[in-house]
Structures are given as structure tokens and as C-alpha cells.
Structure 1
Amino acid sequence: MIRTPRAWAATAAITLAGAALLSGCTKAEEGTPSPTGTAGQQVVASTSPGGAGCTLQSYGGTALNLKDAIVGFSQSEKEANPFRIAETQSIKDEAAKIGVKKLLVTNAQSQLPKQISDIQDMLAQGAQFLIIAPLNSDGLEPALKAAADKKVPVLTIDRKVNATACKDYLSFLGSNFTEQGKRAADAMIKATGGTGKIAILLGSSGNNVTTERTNGFVDQIKAKAPGLSIVAQQTGEFARDKGQQVMEQLIQSKPEITAVYAENDEMALGAVVALKAAGKKPGTDVKIVSIDGTANAVKAIVDGTINAVIESNPRFGPLAFATAQKFFAGESVGAAIIISDREYDAANAKAELASAY
């Protein structure tokens, strides 16, 4: 992946913020919400409440120098999505930067049985530390058990698993998905003036990302915009073609729709195609707000077809390896570490386009 100077600066910011986070307790560890950042800013990492945290002793692991280690990364989905491409590249870049002895990388191709076997295979190849991007919140129990049996610590990133931190896995690194939904709702209220009828293009079922992005959005709309009503919710499975198909159906079945909340950029871009084909002006006739922060979606803001995008930061590499280094040095890490996200709208999209992934 080609990295712009601005993208390199963002990565450096993650490394510095992650180092600051891991050096001691933050307000967020005491229960204060982490900063979300204003449009264009890169406010990066803070720790969510996690009790006393997890240590080598409580997890049952042994000290390890990552430069002498075999590390495994399990990607969950086909890398047709810019988020997954950027996420994998971030892990690879940081592993190379710190000099990891060997990095094993697998891709489950959106198949849960394959992700389980991928993880088991990496363990068989001697992986001593695992970073996993789970396909679903449930179903990885056999893989997590295999890692636990070998005392191999597991960091989960971008999607939570329904399991116990510091027992079944070490820690979760990811965005505050409920907060993303709330921020998307605020952007929608601004774009619509607080009135209209909204369709939600839901992400795939069976993971916390979809649930939390939906709940955050719905609750915020109900609380702050009585003039906005949600008239349809249908899954687009985080895919552009599916998002387009669903939007085509909704244009026929719910012609009164004046706004679309897409739970990722790919579905939003699919909705743009469907709306244009129906003779509507996306961004004008139908307001669109999405989550991810891909370059294509931010460019669509510049072009006027999408109104706002809440970033979901995929650059986990620096924070994941900083967390691992702290853990293997015998220090405590929290049950959840939250990476903060930018926001793009018409006011900053053109200037910040190079920051998108």
C-alpha cells in the first residue's frame, strides 16, 4: 500500500499516543469517556475501564522479546474492503519496524471454520503471540482454547469476542462502536436539519460492530431528533454490491426515504449508485452518512454525494505491538483499549482526503 506523508504522520501519532497510553493510567481507565476528536483531528488512544488489568502472572504466560518471537495475525475477511487492506498492512508495517522474528499472516476469506483452522495452524507453526481480527463475536472458542492450552496470549482487534478478557483472550483493541453510531447520528441531524425519514443499511449480523453502531445511532436519534424517523433497517452485509441491492429495493418499497445511514462506507457507495440510477441526487435528495473513512467515501463527500463519514481507524499495528511489549515486560494491560477516530464532512474532506485509507 502506498503511504502518503500525511498517512505516515498519522501512523507516527498512533505510536506516540499508544506509548503514552501504555505508560500509565488515563482518565478513561477511571471511567471517563475517551476523546472522540473533531473533524480532521487524529486523537488516538485511551483505555476503557478494565479493572486491575491483565498481567503475565494473571494470564499465565511467560516473558517474551518480540524480536525473538513468532507472531501470528489472523485476518477475518477478504481484502476487497479498504479497511481490511489497511488493517493488515498496519500489522505488517509495525512488525517489520520493531523487528519481529517472524510474522505469520492468514486470511479466513470470511469463513469461520477457516479462521479457526488458520489460528490452529499458526499455533502448530510455533506462534507465541496472536493478533486476531474475529469474523464473528461468537464461534472462535475452539481457536481461543487451543491458544490458551499453549499459553499463547491473544489480542483481538476491531471486533469483540463474547469471552472473558485475561482468561480466554488478553485484551480487545478497537473503536468505540456505540460512540461511532452516536457521532453518525449527530452528523445526520446536522445534514438533514433534524427532519426526515431514515433507512439504515445494517452491517453483517453476529458481531458487536453492527449491534453497537446500530444502538448508538438509534438511541441518539430518538434522544435528540424527534423529527427524524427510522422507517427501514436492512442488512447490506458490509458489502458494496449488497448495499446497492438493498437500496434499490428500498427506493421501491420506501420511496419516502430522505436519508441513509450506512454502517460502513462500502454500503454507502453502493447506495449512491442505486440512488443515481433511480434519478435521485445522493447527498442532496437523500442525505447519506456512513462509517469507515475510506478514500472513496471521503472523495464522495468532496463530490457532494455523501454528507459525512465517521472514521473507523484500521491502523492497529502500533497499538497492538505496544500493548504486547508492555504485557511481555510484566506490566498490566486493560481489558479494552480504544483507538479514536476522525470525522469527515464538507468542511474538511478535501483538505483531509490524504488521511483517508
Structure 2
Amino acid sequence: MENETIKVGLVMKSLQADFFKVMQQGAEEFVNETGCCELKAVGTATQTEIDKQISLVEQLVDEGVDALVVVPIDSKELVAPVVYAVRNGVTVVNIDIKLDDALLKKDGVEIDFVGPDNFSASYAVGKKLASTLSKGDKVIMMEGLPVAENAQQRKAGFNKAIEEYGLDCVASEPANWETVTAEEVFGRLYMKHPDIKAVFCCNDAMALGVINVLKDAGCKAGEVKVVGFDNDAVMGSYLEDGWMLATADTYASRMGVEGIRHALALLKENVSATGDKSTEFTVIDGK
């Protein structure tokens, strides 16, 4: 393959989301600078289009890519198309959201995961928020898409912090990573629980929805503390002015690059997997 251009497909979730816009930009800049491969970056319109993402994976396989770097919307439903890719000779690297290990093993397929420890990152952000509260304070959690492994891990990390600090989680519901959905879900929950002290959000897009509701309700910055996850650029001003207490940066721009690098290394070694690779995260505090 040394004398041929290597073709790599990067399959992401919603390209409307800041996180994946940054991931795509970082990957394309890396490929343009290094000339390491021919990259085709694709994604869905929303965070919940599972069938569309499955078709994107299958389409890239049928187009003859050498490698796929995949961020699955659904950790279980994306296993079948990924197995299809592997059985058609495509090298696959899973990034950001882990595919279901049990289903992969059932199909006899081993795929390396390159991404952050979502549990540890959310626990760290959760502790940052919980430490500012008092035992028994009422809080709400905005969950991600339940079928995604990272949503499950972030929820678990936040729950650990909530339990350790003796907080009272009066409601915990999915808003499927989306700002508009978070506005709808949190708006309803806030009406039922107007005495909450904080909101744990499993991504920044949902945190933005929560903040919009709080502003509309006449709250002042910091009156109800909010944390998120992803360190989306749009949240910078909210961190600075006190609307957001903290978030976790998992370095979206680097994650796609690390996935591509890992895929190229596997192709060079002519192996399907060499082991998972953990990427870093940093808790970003408000100013």
C-alpha cells in the first residue's frame, strides 16, 4: 500500500454540533499538512440519526476505503455495519464513543478504541460542581442519548459525585445532546423543581439549553450552577461571565487526528488491532 494513496473515512455524528465541526476541521488540517491519506469526512444532520449513520458507514465501505474512523451514535446499532466493514477488509478504529464490547466479541471482531475516559472526566467535573454545594441540595441532570456509551459513562460519573457529596438529584432525563431538546426538557423540569441549586449537563449543547431557560426565567448568572462537557467554543463567554461553572475538554480537534494516526499505524503493521488508547481530558473552570 506504500505506493497507493490510502483512503480513510471519518464518520461522525451531527456536523451541526460544534464538537464535531472542530473534529472535522482538525482532521482535515492534519491530512492537508501531512498528505498522509485521502480523507472523506462525513456525518449526520442531528445527534439521533442512527440509520443515516449506518448507511454512511456502509457507503464508505462500498466505495473502497482502506480504513474507517467511527464515532457511533448508538454503541450497539453501529456494531453490525462496523463488522461489515471489517469483514470486507477495512481497518476500523472506534473513537470518542465506545462500541459495545459484548456485541463485538459475539461477532468475533476486535476493534481498537481511541478516546477519553468519559466516566473519570464527568466525575472530575461533577466533583467541581458538587464541592460548591451543601449536602441535601437539590440538583437536576441532563443526560445524553441513552443508547450511547459515553452518555452512560458521563451519567455514571456525575452520579458518583452527586452521591459522594450527598446531593438530592430530583430529576435526571435525556435531552439527546441537543440544545432545543434540553430547553424543552429542562423547562418542564425547572417548573416542577424551581428550588434546585445546580444542573449537571452531559454536554455543552444541553448546558446552553439549560442556561437559556434560566435566563428566560429571570435568574442571575451563577444563581443556579451549571456544568457541561466538551468545552465547545461557544461556551467560552458563559464560563467567563459565571453562567457556567466548568466543563471538560476532551480535545475534539485532536481526537479525529489520533484516530486517523492509529488507523494508519494498523495498516502499516497489517494488523486489525493493537489495543485501546486513552486520550487526555482537562477540567476547564469558569473565570
Match status 1:150 vs 2:91: no
Match status 1:319 vs 2:255: no
- Gaps of at least 5 residues in structure 2 are none
The within-5 A match list for 1:126-275 is 126-162=64-100, 163-164=103-104, 167-192=108-133, 196-223=137-164, 225-226=165-166, 228-275=167-214
Match of 1:71 in 2: 8
CA gap of 1:164–1:245, structure 2 versus 1, over 3 A, is same
CA gap of 1:289–1:81, structure 2 versus 1, over 3 A, is same
Looking at structure 1, the residues matched to 201 and 136 of structure 2 have their Cα atoms a distance apart, in angstroms, of: 18
Residues 116 and 250 in structure 2, CA contact (< 8 A), matched pair in contact too: yes
Deviation at residue 96 of structure 1 after TM alignment: 2.0
Match status 1:115 vs 2:53: yes
CA gap of 1:249–1:282, structure 2 versus 1, over 3 A, is farther
Deviations 1:115-160 (A, max 9, x none): 2222222122210111111111011233123212222111111111
Residues 91 and 267 in structure 2, CA contact (< 8 A), matched pair in contact too: no
Looking at structure 2, the residues matched to 253 and 146 of structure 1 have their Cα atoms a distance apart, in angstroms, of: 47
The 3-state SS of whatever aligns with 2:122 is helix
CA gap of 1:271–1:213, structure 2 versus 1, over 3 A, is same
The 3-state SS of whatever aligns with 2:104 is coil
Query: CA RMSD for the aligned pairs?
Result: 2.2
Deviation at residue 65 of structure 1 after TM alignment: 4.0
Residues 192 and 287 in structure 1, CA contact (< 8 A), matched pair in contact too: no
CA gap of 1:179–1:331, structure 2 versus 1, over 3 A, is farther
The one-letter code sitting in structure 2 at the alignment partner of 1:175 is P
Looking at structure 2, the residues matched to 134 and 248 of structure 1 have their Cα atoms a distance apart, in angstroms, of: 29
Deviations 1:99-126 (A, max 9, x none): 1442222223342222222222212221
Residues 119 and 154 in structure 2, CA contact (< 8 A), matched pair in contact too: yes
The 3-state SS of whatever aligns with 2:11 is strand
Deviation at residue 167 of structure 1 after TM alignment: 4.9
CA gap of 1:209–1:119, structure 2 versus 1, over 3 A, is same
The 3-state SS of whatever aligns with 1:118 is helix
The 3-state SS of whatever aligns with 2:186 is helix
Q: Which of 1 and 2 has higher RCO (CA within 8 Å, sep 6+)? A: 1
Residues 79 and 104 in structure 2, CA contact (< 8 A), matched pair in contact too: no
The within-5 A match list for 1:27-106 is 64-65=1-2, 68-77=5-14, 79-106=15-42
Higher mean displacement: 127-136 or 105-114: 105-114
Deviation at residue 93 of structure 1 after TM alignment: 1.8
- Gaps of at least 5 residues in structure 1 are 1-63, 350-357
The one-letter code sitting in structure 2 at the alignment partner of 1:316 is M
Looking at structure 1, the residues matched to 190 and 221 of structure 2 have their Cα atoms a distance apart, in angstroms, of: 12
- TM normalised by structure 1 equals 0.73
Residues 122 and 154 in structure 2, CA contact (< 8 A), matched pair in contact too: yes
- TM normalised by structure 2 equals 0.89
Match status 1:276 vs 2:212: no
Deviation at residue 232 of structure 1 after TM alignment: 0.8
The one-letter code sitting in structure 2 at the alignment partner of 1:164 is L
